[in-house]
Structure 1
Amino acid sequence: MSRDFEFVRRNGRRVVRVAARGRDVLNNPMINFGTAFTTEQRESLGLTGLMPSAVVGMEAQLRRVYRQYSHEPTDLAKYIYLSTMQDRNETLFYRLLTENIEEMLPIVYTPTIGKAIQEYSHWYHKPRGVYLNIDHPEDIVNSLQADGRGADDIDLIVVTDSEGILGIGDQGVGGVAITVGKLSVYTAAAGIHPHRVLPVVLDTGTDNLDLLNDPGYLGIRHARVRGEEYDQFVRSFVDAVTECFPHALLHWEDFAAGNAHRILARYRDEICTFNDDIQGTAGVVVAALLSAVRTTRSRLEDHRIVIHGAGTAGVGIANLLVDVMVSEGMTRAEATRHFWGLSSHGLLIEGGRQRDFQAPFARPRNEVDNWKLDVPGEYRLADVIRNVQPTILIGTSAQAGAFTRPIVTDMAAHCERPIIMPLSNPTARAEALPSDLLDWTDGAALIATGSPFEPVVHNDVTYNIAQANNALIFPGIGLGVITSLASRVTDTMIAAAAAAVASAVTDRRPGASLLPTMTQLRSISARVAVAVAEVAEKEGLAGRELTTPIQEVYDNMWQPVYPEVEVI
């Protein structure tokens, strides 16, 4: 038990046992109910006289805070308002977020959180999370245990080293905000208990010269540490997590491409771990692709797939698609031949410049020797489209406008229903706009994007644009792992999560979205969790037997309502 409180279930009811008194109650966001405390609770908790006399319940509180939120002048101001609210009254914060998830998700998560991270050192007001310093690795264990939570008190840890934040790169210590935001979505979407999670930033320095020269910067003021010292720091962190919180799912977030794949490969068979940029992105994109393929009444094996931006996210998508194709009867070698990946150096070609994780998707040199090229010796996107005639085009390049009209019309000339997914965030980095894609293909394109877009009207048909938002996938994966006490996260679980999301889409009318809307997030997360938990059992990785998975997943979802209070 925490020194001040603990949460328990008693006869199916949620109860918080509170030992704190007075301002210690009001200063703790997990047990501060504000004006909703009853007169009796105020008296027994030593709160009489510390707040206005009226007892105002959650519904009235929600109206007040939503009105205040709506009056904030900018998205960043709205983010900061919600952040301070989370630091004041966590239950009310999550109730507000849950009831307005479609409106507020772009504020607490991408794209607004990118701006908040860039300005973190200037709006910082209260620490939230654990800050681990590479110059003092001896402090890791003490830092993880600093708030007094024990081995069975943490279900989920989200960690970043801040080098690959969204589409804005190295953001130093400010990346801690992405871990806080990610955990907020885990709770709002899947009911992961907010007191059983831990945000962590590995501060290994920064190569961002703007930050290093900013007198207000709050992180370590030196260049990023790399190589053996970095790897040992990560090793020490993993060992400390295993020691302190042996049952926790460890979620890696926004590491640079090379480190992300390397770290996941290093630890995925050793601990229960997951990388959302690789596996979560792959899961939601595969869900959209499965939905699109069903719409065209085709099979994955019928498609030629070009991935523009074959980095962490792009190769993650390709790998999961290969797994799905193999499960449908293809060999891995056959499935891999359906992909053409482009990095910053152009098409991945055997013997060319590429990272280890990209190598399986490099095309044979003799395949491209006779290609017609715009510039001899350079294999760029337009060349690939012309020579491959793909049916699926995926953008994870962060190159705004990369899917030009000539490229799209060339693709559409050889494909009746081109599947086009400009996934890069934020909106300013999207490879194309949905309105342009529909215009250039006369409404034929099946589209999913990384950022939210308003519906597009074309030829009197309203097209609802699917947002391939990882929030449709990762919260449910976390809930499924936690509910089943899974010891590992496998590719089969990710594929099952993708299939669960795709199966929730039943509307195939012209203009229908390829993915569920954010308003369905809570139920989608539960559906994903059940699928993941069932795979964990089937693969022998579950730490508990689930007799009624649907009920057990539902029972494991924390609800943002004030619990009963037991004063101790």
Structure 2
Amino acid sequence: MESTMKEIRGGGAPCVLDMDDAATVGGGVEDTYGEDRATEEQLVTPWTVSVASGYNLLRDPRYNKGLAFTEKERETHYLRGLLPPTVISQELQERKIMHNIRQYQLPLQRYMAMMDLQEGNERLFYKLLIDNVEELLPIVYTPTVGEACQKYGSIFSRPQGLYISLKEKGKILEVLKNWPERSIQVIVVTDGERILGLGDLGCQGMGIPVGKLSLYTALGGVRPSACLPITLDVGTNNEELLNDEFYIGLRQRRAIGQEYADFLHEFMAAVKQNYGEKVLIQFEDFANHNAFDLLARYGTTHLVFNDDIQGTASVVLAGLVAALKLVGGTLAEHTYLFLGAGEAGTGIAELIALEMSRQTKTPIDECRKKIWLVDSKGLIVSARKESLQHFKKPWAHEHEHVGNLLDAVNAIKPTVLIGTSGKGQTFTQEVVEAISSFNEVISTVLTCYF
């Protein structure tokens, strides 16, 4: 279909728009700088366009290019006088911004500078992130995003996603419709209860979905307009935040039980109704007791994914498969010991067992017996089964009680040792020496590494 060009007046300044790029009602601005394409169905439905030109264009992060607007673009989009006369390339803009960011001494200052850039010039933000990923990834995501979440109330200036709180119960679909984009492909959602290793940060956990979706775009190529960060505010049990005058969330204890379940169910139903069945919903930094339940409940009705459980597991499994080229054998021929039995540990263990089962055609229960986990109370064994959380129970094997990692290594004699605990300095010299004493290849690798 040939693009139909039309001149539309709005805000006192005309702007040339490509009708093929026009969005549906509420879809926001889609001019010649946009990348979204309306479907055939959307083109035959009534639609409106918010015109991006002049002053408003410079304040729309999706299309603003700053001093990189050419002379022709400045004339066409009524930017004369709104910018200094110099036209500079995006590459020069990039060098200037990187120079400025490197002047900051504190990572949080660099984080705030990057967020300001994302809110002012989205294309330059992603250009910067893609070209300097090793330097900037630790700034826009872990570890700096953790500090940003802790101080989110103090540094908050402009919302970057949707905040859906218990106040909106019964109206969640209406809240979703307030978001200007309609063609959403990926939602990253958190309830803020287990942000990184920092615990319950409530509404201030928004930094995680925002940061994660920046990576979807920079590293995965997903359009920014197709990404939606969401924080579900169901309260917080963090006393420090509840007493913080700058806290931006509900000042009440966390909802639990049926109230929590009903709220999440309304959210999941509203997402499907508003965005369709193909939208990916990524659960991020939910506490263990909810994360596994949500996957089990919605895994068959929605396109869902938990990065802490499934994403980490896929990366570790890939590493193991690659390591087999060095150490030899198959997955089923090795014995695995985990330090840590939370979302990451049990998620990795389950994926290893599933792959073992697939390769050997053995029931998964038998494959799980090759995998052992150590939590804060020691080796997970059948004698502890009654007191274990449900997601740990599949890993409770017959064995006498073992209280610490070193004793577990000596008792189980694993060929693979995996750490998924937030507690540092636990792979001590004694642990390393113990596992290398009965693994010749590992001993050689460790010697080379150290």
The TM-score, its normalising length taken from structure 1, stands at: 0.69
Partners of 2:437 and 2:166 lie apart in 1 by 54
Q: Give runs of ≥4 in structure 1 deviating > 3 Å.
A: 6-10
Whether 1:110 aligns to 2:154 is no
Q: Secondary structure of 1:52's partner?
A: coil
Partners of 1:248 and 1:324 lie apart in 2 by 27
The structure with the larger Rg is 2
Paired letter, 2:164 = L
Report the CA distance between 1:268 and its aligned residue. Answer: 0.9
Q: Secondary structure of 2:267's partner?
A: helix
Aligned twin of 2:244: 214
Report the CA distance between 1:330 and its aligned residue. Answer: 4.4
Partners of 2:139 and 2:180 lie apart in 1 by 31
Confirm or deny: 8 A CA contact 2:235 2:252 kept in the other structure: yes
Confirm or deny: 8 A CA contact 2:402 2:408 kept in the other structure: no
Report the CA distance between 1:149 and its aligned residue. Answer: 2.6
- Residue by residue over 1:127-165, the C-alpha shift from the partner in whole angstroms, topping out at 9 and shown as x without a partner, is 100001113312311221113333xx1111000001111
Cα distance change, pair 444–149 in 1 and its aligned pair in 2 (3 A): closer
Partners of 1:102 and 1:8 lie apart in 2 by 27
Match of 1:4 among 9, 13, 29: 29
Partners of 2:311 and 2:174 lie apart in 1 by 31
Partners of 2:217 and 2:282 lie apart in 1 by 14
Whether 1:204 aligns to 2:234 is yes
Whether 1:65 aligns to 2:97 is yes
Confirm or deny: 8 A CA contact 2:308 2:344 kept in the other structure: yes
* 1:103-252 paired onto structure 2 within 5 Å: 103-150=135-182, 153-246=183-276, 247-252=278-283
Whether 1:279 aligns to 2:303 is no
Aligned twin of 1:309: 340
Whether 1:23 aligns to 2:55 is yes
Q: Secondary structure of 2:104's partner?
A: coil
Paired letter, 2:319 = A
Partners of 2:181 and 2:413 lie apart in 1 by 56
Report the CA distance between 1:18 and its aligned residue. Answer: 8.2
* 1:530-549 paired onto structure 2 within 5 Å: none
- Residue by residue over 1:452-471, the C-alpha shift from the partner in whole angstroms, topping out at 9 and shown as x without a partner, is xxxxxx7xx6x5xxxxxxxx
Match of 1:363 among 390, 397, 401: 397
* 1:249-398 paired onto structure 2 within 5 Å: 249-331=280-362, 332-352=364-384, 353-364=387-398, 367-368=399-400, 378-398=402-422
Partners of 1:165 and 1:139 lie apart in 2 by 26
Considering only aligned residues, what root-mean-square deviation do their CA atoms show, in Å? 1.8
Q: Secondary structure of 1:107's partner?
A: helix
Partners of 1:165 and 1:3 lie apart in 2 by 32
The TM-score, its normalising length taken from structure 2, stands at: 0.87
Confirm or deny: 8 A CA contact 2:150 2:204 kept in the other structure: yes
Aligned twin of 1:411: 435
Match of 2:127 among 83, 95, 98: 95
Paired letter, 1:106 = P
Aligned twin of 2:20: none
- Residue by residue over 1:400-456, the C-alpha shift from the partner in whole angstroms, topping out at 9 and shown as x without a partner, is 1122221221111111133xxxxxxxxxxxxxxxxxxxxxx5x623xxxxxxxxxxx
Partners of 2:390 and 2:428 lie apart in 1 by 30
Report the CA distance between 1:398 and its aligned residue. Answer: 0.7
Aligned twin of 1:45: 77
Partners of 1:194 and 1:89 lie apart in 2 by 12
Report the CA distance between 1:378 and its aligned residue. Answer: 4.9
Partners of 1:43 and 1:139 lie apart in 2 by 44
Q: Secondary structure of 2:230's partner?
A: strand
Partners of 2:150 and 2:409 lie apart in 1 by 36
Q: Secondary structure of 2:189's partner?
A: strand
Partners of 1:165 and 1:294 lie apart in 2 by 36
Aligned twin of 2:46: none
Partners of 1:169 and 1:197 lie apart in 2 by 25
Q: Secondary structure of 2:391's partner?
A: helix
Confirm or deny: 8 A CA contact 2:30 2:36 kept in the other structure: no
Among all aligned residue pairs of Structure 1 and Structure 2, give the percentage whose two residues are the same amino acid: 38
Q: Secondary structure of 1:216's partner?
A: coil
What number of residue pairs does the alignment pair up? 408
Report the CA distance between 1:19 and its aligned residue. Answer: 2.8
Confirm or deny: 8 A CA contact 2:28 2:181 kept in the other structure: no
Report the CA distance between 1:343 and its aligned residue. Answer: 2.1
Aligned twin of 1:14: none
Report the CA distance between 1:106 and its aligned residue. Answer: 1.1
Whether 1:400 aligns to 2:436 is no
Report the CA distance between 1:84 and its aligned residue. Answer: 0.6
